[in-house]
């Protein structure tokens, strides 16, 4: 029913074989998309976490004045707190 297919890795550009056995495995699991990356690139992404690093912005805590790193661009219209002050404020509510 399934036949080997030659695909091109979207990361490294090398050709790789999507075997009939792999296709059957994908079908059994309900996967509808063919793999986009070769095994080496998939393994690389797994060990690297597969997620892009979040950008952190440095600012000053509005409560204690210490340096704080936050995952969003701070604006002047809202206070930004370091993790310790934020946790204290959150627990006080």
DSSP string computed for 44-93: HHHHTTSSPPPP-EEEE-TTT--EEEESS---TTS----HHHHHHHHHH-
Rounded to whole angstroms, the Cα distance separating 73 from 80 reads: 10
64 and 43 in a common domain: no
- The confidence score (pLDDT) of residue 55 equals 87
10 and 34 in a common domain: yes
74 and 43 in a common domain: no
- The confidence score (pLDDT) of residue 92 equals 87
Structural domain count of the chain: 2
9 and 43 in a common domain: yes
In a domain, 52, yes or no: no
In a domain, 39, yes or no: yes
Question: pLDDT in tens for each of the 93 residues of the chain?
Answer: 899 999 999 999 999 999 999 999 999 999 999 999 999 999 888 887 656 677 899 999 999 999 999 989 999 899 999 999 999 998 988
User: What is the domain extent for residue 24?
Assistant: 5-47
- The confidence score (pLDDT) of residue 57 equals 93
């Amino acid at each position: 029913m399934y036949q080997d297919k030659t695909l091109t890795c979207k990361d490294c550009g090398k050709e790789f074989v999507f075997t009939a056995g792999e296709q059957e495995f994908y079908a059994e699991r309900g996967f509808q998309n063919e793999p986009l990356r070769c095994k080496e690139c998939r393994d690389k992404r797994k060990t690297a976490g597969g997620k892009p690093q979040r950008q952190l912005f440095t600012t000053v805590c509005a409560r204690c004045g210490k340096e704080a790193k936050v995952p969003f661009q701070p604006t002047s219209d809202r206070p930004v707190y370091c993790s310790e002050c934020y946790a204290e404020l959150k627990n006080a509510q």
